[in-house]
Amino acid sequence: MSMAARILVLLLSPALAVVLGLAVRRARFSEYLNLAASVAVLLVALPLPFVAARPTTFLDGYLLVDPLGAWVVMCVAVVYLLSSIYAIGYMRHDASRKARLPLFYALLAGFALTMLVAPLVNSIGVYWIAIELTTLVSTFLVGFERNAESMEAAWKYIIVVSSGISLALLGTTLLYWGGTFVYGETYQLTWASLVHAAPQMPPVLLKMGFLLTLIGYGTKVGLAPMHTWLPDAHSEGPAPVSAMLSGALLNTAMVGIVRFLAATDAAGQGALPHAALVILGVCSLLVGALFIVRQRQIKRLMAYSSVEHMGVLALGFGFGGTLGVAGALYHMINHSLAKPLLFFGAGNAMHRYGSKRIDDMRGVWRMFPVSGTLWLCGAVAITGAPPFGLFLSEFAILRAGWGGPYLWAAIAMLVLLIVIFVAFLNHFRAMYLAEYPADPGEPPVRAVPMERDSWYAGWRVLPMALPLVPLLLLGVWWPASWTALFHTIANALGAHP
């Protein structure tokens, strides 16, 4: 299969799912159409990072397929498939929504499309537009339930992210201005031309441009203290949407920051940018830890865990070097595998208990013998305990920072990760092992399909079981071909070994 054909399938399948789904407007049809699109996307995206060893451009140079972009596309595709499977079971739960399901799946496929395009965009201005489009589409998914809470979350999401990302536009303008000192008035500002021009650019414009884009795209990544939209949006959207936001969307904005960072590295001006990224990373871990300890709502718990993991990614890229970059990329896929599992478990529990509060969820094991076990494994995985993949990736990032100029950040990361491990699993301990308080009230359990039901098991438990296999595998075996790929990406980003 040629590269052009791969890209065509990758982008056309979700696009077709949007168009056909809206044209036919049948709930069942839309469900399976979207599922088929996500399977096609994953089949194309899985080998993509490994066949895209040499960067190639398409469509007059507007699309760039390089290993880094392809890696992020692969993460998006994994989450898209898992969410599409889970959505079928989750969204049918409420029969009153049936008329709006075609719209939901069209939005879901459209959201996936924007996230598949963004990492592959070659022009920096168009990248900004792609990221803005992801916001516009996903706002309607966040507000899909149309109750007061989800409307509030959607409004905060679009306002905070749009105003934040306008700083990235200012940064991009300044970087373009910097480029005119090298190329003259009119040129195409692509990632490659930025890296090429960076060494001759006035350093003040380069640094200022980077800091503004860092804050702008950092808002979208959910780095603290620009994370304020994230817990609301992640907790109020339907569970499959939360999984897409957390596991896929945040990475697509991170890739922009990483590419800007590479430009400052190429110019030898990397010290300040790396320090800024490390500081934001530690801030995110700190905020994540503080809010995880005292969290009362199950999906907000998962949302703050996303803030934490984006902090870990920022630290990985901030520490830099081959090991830091490799650890961060490995962490990206591990997080994309583990986070949907957690949100799906939370979605199941919320439907079962009819509440969002952790305090109302007791005796999970009795209620969900199978999916409860899977959920618990996911929780152990996301806190970075062995034998799951996140342990290896967090360890690699820690080693990248250890002994370098950011030893303090590595120590802070270690301490905060331990705090989060204890606090996060303590919530799970309460849900699995603690009994209801002594007063003999009826537990607020609603009649929902039981786990034994094969239909339920297929759509709502299977997407929780699927990611655990690779997570476990990646925890005990770091594939050699991936190491080679990470080296290629780190070299392309100009990271020193």
Partner 1 sequence: MNAMLATHLDPLAASLFSLLTIASLLLAFVMLGSRWLKDYMLAFAAQSWLIGMLSALVGYYGGYRELYWVALLTVLFRGIVLPWLILRILRRLNTARELHEILSTSTSLVIGAAAVIFALVVAMRLTADLHIVSNVVVLALTVMFSMKLIGFLMLALRHEAISQILGILVLENGIFLGAQILVPGMPLMIELVLLFDLLVAVACFGVLVRYLLTHIGSTSSRDLRRLTG
Which positions touch partner 1 (CB under 8 A)? 123, 125-126, 129, 132-133, 136, 139-140, 143, 146-149, 151-156, 158-159, 162-163, 166-167, 169-170, 173, 176-177, 180-181, 184-189, 202, 204-205, 208, 231-232, 235-236, 291, 294-297, 300
d(CA 401, CA 275): 12
Through-space distance between the first and last CA atoms of the chain, rounded to whole angstroms: 34
Nearer to partner 1, 72 or 167 (CB): 167
Query: Considering the complex, what minimum distance in angstroms separates the CB of residue 281 from partner 1?
Result: 23
Least separation, in Å, of the C-beta of 447 and partner 1?
Answer: 27
> Which alpha helices (H) appear in 320-406, and where do they start and end?
321-353, 364-367, 369-382, 389-401
Phi/psi at 56 (nearest 5 deg)?
A: -125, 150
For the bound state, the minimum distance from the C-beta of residue 249 to partner 1, rounded and expressed in Å, comes to 17
* Rounded-to-integer distance, Cα 472 and Cα 310, Å: 21
Cβ 292 to partner 1 shortest distance, Å: 11
Q: Which is nearer to partner 1, 159 or 445 (CB)?
A: 159
The answer to whether 3 and 45 have CB atoms below 8 angstroms apart is no
CB of 361 to partner 1, least distance (A): 17
Strand partners, 58: 63
Choice between 300 and 352, CB closer to partner 1: 300
Nearest of 48, 33, 42 to residue 108 by alpha carbon: 33
CB of 110 to partner 1, least distance (A): 12
Nearer to partner 1, 161 or 490 (CB): 161
Directed axis angle between helix 271-293 and helix 203-221, to 10°?
20
Identify whether the C-beta of residue 381 lies closer than 8 Å to the C-beta of residue 388.
yes
Q: How far is the CB of 205 from partner 1 (least distance, A)?
A: 7
Query: Which CB atom, from 294 or from 366, has the smaller least distance to partner 1?
Result: 294
Q: How far is it, in rounded angstroms, from Cα 40 to Cα 34?
A: 10
DSSP 276-311: HHHHHHHHHHHHHHHHHHT--BHHHHHHHHHHHHHH
Q: Closer to partner 1 by CB, 140 or 436: give it.
A: 140
Contacts within 8 Å (CB) and 24+ apart, 183-189: 188/61, 188/123, 189/123, 189/124, 189/125
CB 379 within 8 A of CB 365: no
CB of 140 to partner 1, least distance (A): 7
Side-chain-side CA neighbours of 33 within 13 Å: the count stands at: 29
Smallest distance, Å, CB 95 to partner 1? 21
Pick 168 or 416: Cβ nearer partner 1: 168
**Which of residues 183 and 478 has its CB atom nearest to partner 1 in the complex?**
183
For residues 167 and 466, which CB has a smaller minimum distance to partner 1 in the complex? Answer: 167
Q: 154-188 b/e with 16+ CB inside 10 Å = b?
A: bebbbebbeebbebbbebbebbbebbeeeeeeeee
